[in-house]
Chain A
Amino acid sequence: MAQQLLEVTDLHTQFFTRDGVVRAVDGVSFEVAAGETLGIVGESGCGKSVTALSLMRLIPVPPGKIVKGTIMFDGADVLKMDDDEVRGIRGNNIAMIFQDPMTSLNPVLTISRQISEALELHLKMDKSEARKRTIELLDLVGIPSAKKRADDYPHQFSGGMRQRVMIAMALSCNPKLILADEPTTALDVTIQAQILDLLKNLAREFRTAFILITHDLGVVAGMTQRIHVMYGGKIVEKADTGELFANPKMPYTWGLLRSIPRLDERRKAKLVPIEGLPPDLIAPPPGCRFEPRCQYRRDICREKEPELVHIPNSKPDHEARCWGTQQGGWLVDTDWHKEVGDTRIIEEIKQEVAQLPPEPKPGDVPPPPAI
């Protein structure tokens, strides 16, 4: 195994709210090698963004807090650094691309100002050097007539162009690792493909390690070498990208795969949603976190939480957190394409959801005062 660039061990990030402690990230461990591209996939609220923010110590404190774990980056623990050391890493060695390019750029500063800022800070460039480099970067990410547009304000750019600016900003100091948090979610489908292409090419060109965070397995498919699936604040499956698509070993991943449209499938394979609601991270299910929504569940799933372990019939580094697919489990030989599990359980889950109190009607929502 190559020298790891990033090694996260047993990370716990929690938010202390009035309703209780939200265990947003609950014991996550993973590593990223230099130049490697890792995908983290999961539904919204599963803790993937919080994981990314934790890596840069950008969790708002309070209410958030990283309560446990280590984040070894380039041989040093980010969680043990003082504030100055962390700032030396942010934007310099680890950079981040955020989800919403409409709100992530400062509306009252010019594009060039926002990119040069990091260059002047970390690479000690003077104003004219930084400006020159900024224009090169804008050129690189495909902003037409970059020189002219550098002095424009964010609102003069379209969403896709703004995300290109964010990418240029992230690349500016040649970081070793870029965290891209849902970089294409806020964009039109046609633009999404362009941005993903750009990211892929730049990752190759700059030999930067990438962590691509998304809810969309389709996005990571062509982008990453390995994929981690997160559910309820935990990693529930780890595998090579090819292996994960060919031989998934966790019912949640099956559910995700069933719910994306695929062109290479037989026509009659229809999209199947995952029934039920994501777990409550204040009082998570005591056993397997996916158990309340799993149509393959057995009693043990409710009673004891499975460990993330190697799974038989799979590649050596393929791990999953599931009683059923583990050695001796009842799902070891299940073909997820054919056996959808116990349909009675699916009905039960649907009923449980129906019994939950209704969402508040829109008519009850007090709108924000205009004052």
Chain B
Amino acid sequence: MLRYVIRRLLLIIPTMFFVALITFSLAHLAPGNPFDKNPNRPMPQETIDRISRFYGVDQPIPVQFITYLGNILHGDLGISFTRRTPVVDVIGQGIGTTFQLGIGALAFALAFSIPLGIVSALKQNTMIDYLSMLVATIGTTIPGFVLAIFLIYIFGVNLHLLPFVGWGSWQHMVMPMFVLGLGAGGFLTRITRASMLEAIRQDYVRTARSKGLQERAVIVGHALKNALIPIATIIGPATAGLITGSFIIESLFNVPGMGRLYVISILARDYPIIMGTTLLYAFLIMIANLTVDIVYGVLDPRIKVA
């Protein structure tokens, strides 16, 4: 098990290398640089040279890339073009908020999706099933920002119940967490329902019934225990999805997190931040995938990760 984890952790390195290479290349393919903000008033050449030296962009591109990689190993992601502060600090300011939002959304998603999925499977093709599948479909299909627009219109603009700009109080958190959680929750509801339907059709459930167990014991002790395996494995990517997918919601509700920062940096072409954030996101996703495989090995006795 330990060896497997170590091998998987080592595999992250080449993948991260390619992620860095791709983002770096794209950033250098892109037109413009931090100094041509105002074409009518060009900077004096010595200023450009000075700034170029400061950012290291006077070096050949391969050298820049290697320097960049070397710096990453020291936890240095470069300096933001627009803020003139280290990227690590800028990201550090937003990451807490983003995690707060993501974890809150995940808690909300889990709280409604798993019971809903189970009930839906047990009452297949009834009104309850259709209703919860409709909720799940709306959650997965309608984009978060569109959902947020409707919510802002109803609860913010019309009813004045909830603030829709900023972050801090619990009232600020309600709508962003709800919108973000509904998408992930809709997906989890469908997974739960599907794996529960799969489980209750299995022969071993019939065996459990033939022992005379209460229906509750059959469902919880036998069917759910099997159905939880695919559900648990999806929670990892779902968390990664919530954290990396929060950028639109953060921008919309003006939440000072990593996602909003990312969008601002994209609009401002602040490549050091774009690259740093992308690498961080990619790292989170790979860790999430690795966690899935480990959780899978723990939950399912048939899987022997060696």
Answer whether A and B touch in the complex at a CB cut-off of 8 Å: yes
Footprint of B on A, CB under 8 Å? 56, 58, 83, 87-92, 95-96, 98, 100, 103-109, 114, 117-118, 121-122, 153, 155, 166, 169
Considering only CB atoms and an 8 Å cut-off, how many residues of chain B contact the other chain? 22
Verify B212–A96 contact, CB threshold 8 A. Answer: no
Q: A87-B213, A88-B212, A106-B225 are in contact. Are A98 and B301 (CB under 8 A)?
A: no
What are the residues of chain A within 8 A of B206 when measuring CB–CB? 58, 98, 104
**Which has the most chain A C-beta neighbours within 10 Å: B204, B207, B215, B225?**
B207
Given A58-B206, A104-B204; 12 other pairs, CB 8 A cutoff: A83-B215, A88-B212, A91-B211, A92-B212, A95-B211, A105-B207, A107-B204, A107-B226, A108-B225, A108-B300, A108-B301, A121-B212
Q: A108-B226, A108-B299, A108-B300 are in contact. Are A90 and B210 (CB under 8 A)?
A: yes
Verify B209–A58 contact, CB threshold 8 A. Answer: yes
Q: A106-B204, A107-B204, A153-B301 are in contact. Are A96 and B229 (CB under 8 A)?
A: no
A3 to chain B minimum Cβ distance, whole angstroms, is 24
Verify A117–B301 contact, CB threshold 8 A. Answer: no
Give the complex CA separation of A98 and B214 in angstroms.
20
17 A-B residue pairings within 8 Å (CB atoms): A56-B210, A87-B212, A90-B209, A91-B212, A92-B212, A98-B206, A100-B203, A103-B202, A103-B204, A104-B204, A107-B226, A109-B222, A114-B207, A118-B211, A121-B213, A122-B212, A155-B301
Give the complex CA separation of A109 and B205 in angstroms.
12
Give the complex CA separation of A96 and B210 in angstroms.
7
Give the complex CA separation of A105 and B203 in angstroms.
8
Q: Does more than half of chain B's interface fall in helix, strand or loop, or is it mixed?
A: helix
Give the complex CA separation of A122 and B211 in angstroms.
9
What are the residues of chain B within 8 A of A114 when measuring CB–CB? 207
What are the residues of chain B within 8 A of A103 when measuring CB–CB? 202-204
A237 to chain B minimum Cβ distance, whole angstroms, is 28
What are the residues of chain B within 8 A of A107 when measuring CB–CB? 204, 226, 300-302
B191 to chain A minimum Cβ distance, whole angstroms, is 11
Q: Does B235 contact A (CB under 8 A)?
A: no
Verify A91–B210 contact, CB threshold 8 A. Answer: yes
B107 to chain A minimum Cβ distance, whole angstroms, is 26
How many A-B Cβ pairs are below 8 Å?
A: 76
What are the residues of chain A within 8 A of B301 when measuring CB–CB? 107-108, 153, 155
Residues facing A in B261-306 (CB within 8 A) are: 299-302
Verify A98–B211 contact, CB threshold 8 A. Answer: no
**Which has the most chain B C-beta neighbours within 10 Å: A83, A114, A122?**
A114
A356 to chain B minimum Cβ distance, whole angstroms, is 30
Give the complex CA separation of A350 and B44 in angstroms.
98
Verify A153–B302 contact, CB threshold 8 A. Answer: yes
Residue from the list A83, A91, A104, A169 in contact with B203, Cβ < 8 A: A104
A247 to chain B minimum Cβ distance, whole angstroms, is 36
CB closest chain-A residue, reference B301: A153
Residues facing A in B222-237 (CB within 8 A) are: 222, 225-226, 229
CB closest chain-B residue, reference A102: B203
What are the residues of chain B within 8 A of A153 when measuring CB–CB? 301-302
What are the residues of chain B within 8 A of A105 when measuring CB–CB? 204, 207
Q: Does B208 contact A (CB under 8 A)?
A: yes
B118 to chain A minimum Cβ distance, whole angstroms, is 17
What are the residues of chain B within 8 A of A88 when measuring CB–CB? 212
Verify A98–B203 contact, CB threshold 8 A. Answer: yes
What are the residues of chain A within 8 A of B299 when measuring CB–CB? 108
